[in-house]
Amino acid sequence: MDNIKSNLPVWNFVSSPALHPMKVTINVNKPCTASGLLFVAPYTSYEATMIGQTGALIMDQKGNPVWFRPLDSIYKQNADFRAQCYKGEPVLTMWEGTISGTQSANPNLPAGDPEPGAYYLIINQNYEVVKKITAQRGFTADVHEFTITKQNTALFTAVKQVPGDLTPFGGPADGYFDNYSIQEVDLLTGKLLFFWNVLAHVDPADSMLSASSATSSNNIWDCFHVNSVVEGPNHTILISMRNMWAIYSIDKKTGKIIWQLGGKQSDFAFGPNATFSWQHDARHRPGQRISLFDDACCASPNSPPNGPARGLILHLNFQNRTTEMDRTYYHAPILMVPSQGNVQPLPNGNELVGWGQEPYLSEFAQAGNTTEDPSMNFLYDMQFPNQNISYRAFKNEWIGLPHYPPSIAVKQLCEDASIIYASWNGSTETAAWQVLAGPTPDKLSVLVKCTPRTGFETDICIDSVGPYFKVNALNYCGEVIGTTRIAHICEQHC
């Protein structure tokens, strides 16, 4: 991590020296955005320079870190990082592992696949891991989706390479299908409640990715590339498969496909500006609508770069089997996005769009915009440094209550003054800091009653050289909610 010590756009904190999250740029910040914090999980591709550490990052709308959980290597990643609800309590969830294509120019698996050993985490408001979940039946926990259902079960995607003769599809004889499954697990018992094998229900011949592409990834054909699954009405699930250009509604009881939207076997005809390709993040919306992130670009060398990318909401007419464009959300300026991305409805009616392989997240007013006027209803835009990306981006309300104490560091400025640095990684309730100092650890008195918290780390100048110091974190009512260790500085000369 030598780049952390350079002049790259990375945060460095005196009181939390192990944390080096990326710094971001706010390009647009207009009124009427939704309340909440921003959730991303930065990483980058193999050929790019990672700015800062990989991990799970919560930021405020100004781009200040609120909580950062760094990973011990830039070749490890988090993904699908967001706030959810488990047993009636708010939690953080994320995938953790290594994404194929981030360690080598010649990955052993198709780009974007999880390497073996991956898992999901559920973390409580005290930032303690309460659950670690792996996939079953020989599949690997997949980077794309982990949803806690209303029944406190986990619904997720998983992947496994299945040997097969790909010559009927134009691929190698000694090949493999990159097969996916949808799994639902009881989070209390670990029991597998639902299992849906994609290869058993979807014809690989309908893939939009040529089987000859397998020769560039150890003869593994990523024919499906499942990238989202969510519960639907009447015991159904909604699944997006990027490389089929299709979204499927599945009957959970029978496993049968009820209908398909898009792809070679679409049950729906498309109206103007309603078609999509290489899509991500299909979600049900009220009023027979579906939202998705339409990459429309670049996922296959044999596919022309159509683009541009957009958030897309479609209205489905089940009687006539037609679908019409309802809303679109384009970045300003327009972006071409080869992979990843998501669209999230916000409580005030706005939409948050994570731009996947392009280093942005944006917020839009509900009405959206057009390619002709992408600045219309474009309320907020954050840009990550260099080629840092986040598979998805979310805005969620979150209250963090760390069980570990705040952090302190002290530097003597001169014979009668010092500077105190205070931070508390993940605390959303710290409003101010109170500084105590004294000649011995057991004789500390309040020197600074209340200094407002400023960003992740607050520096406080005081007319004292201690040499012993302690800082109390105060909430919005002025109550002490946390206390640092006692710090000591030896006598120094200016």
Tell me if residue 275 falls in helix, strand or coil: coil
What CA–CA distance (Å, rounded) separates 413 from 419?
A: 7
Q: What is the pLDDT of residues 14-65, one digit of tens each?
A: 999 999 999 999 999 999 999 999 999 999 998 899 999 999 999 999 999 9
What CA–CA distance (Å, rounded) separates 303 from 461?
A: 60
Looking at residue 47, its pLDDT comes to: 86
The total number of residues written for the chain in this structure: 494
Mean per-residue pLDDT, 193-210:
97
Looking at residue 1, its pLDDT comes to: 36
Looking at residue 416, its pLDDT comes to: 85
Instruction: Give 94's contacts (C-beta < 8 A, 6+ positions apart).
Output: 41, 56, 78, 79, 80, 81, 82, 120, 121, 123, 146
CATH topology match: 2-396 vs 407-488? no
Mean per-residue pLDDT, 464-477:
95
Look up the CATH superfamily of 407-488. Immunoglobulins (2.60.40.10)
Q: What is the pLDDT of residues 253-299, one digit of tens each?
A: 999 999 999 999 999 999 999 999 999 999 999 999 999 999 998 76
Mean per-residue pLDDT, 464-472:
93
Looking at residue 307, its pLDDT comes to: 82
pLDDT at 490 over 70: no
Structure tokens at 438: 């004294």
What CA–CA distance (Å, rounded) separates 270 from 276?
A: 10
- Beta strand residue intervals within 129-256, DSSP E: 129-133, 140-148, 153-164, 175-186, 192-197, 220-221, 226-232, 236-241, 246-251
High-pLDDT (> 70) share of the chain, %: 96
Q: In the beta sheet, which residues pair with residue 290?
A: 284, 314
Please say whether the dihedral angle defined by the alpha carbons of residues 51, 53, 54 and 55, taken in this order, is positive or negative: negative
pLDDT at 493 over 50: no
Looking at residue 302, its pLDDT comes to: 61
pLDDT at 197 over 90: yes
Looking at residue 135, its pLDDT comes to: 98
Q: What is the pLDDT of residues 335-378, one digit of tens each?
A: 999 999 999 999 999 999 999 999 999 999 999 999 999 999 99
Which fold, 2-396?
Answer: Neuraminidase (2.120.10)
Domain boundaries in the chain? 2-396, 407-488
pLDDT at 3 over 60: no
Q: Record the pTM.
A: 0.96
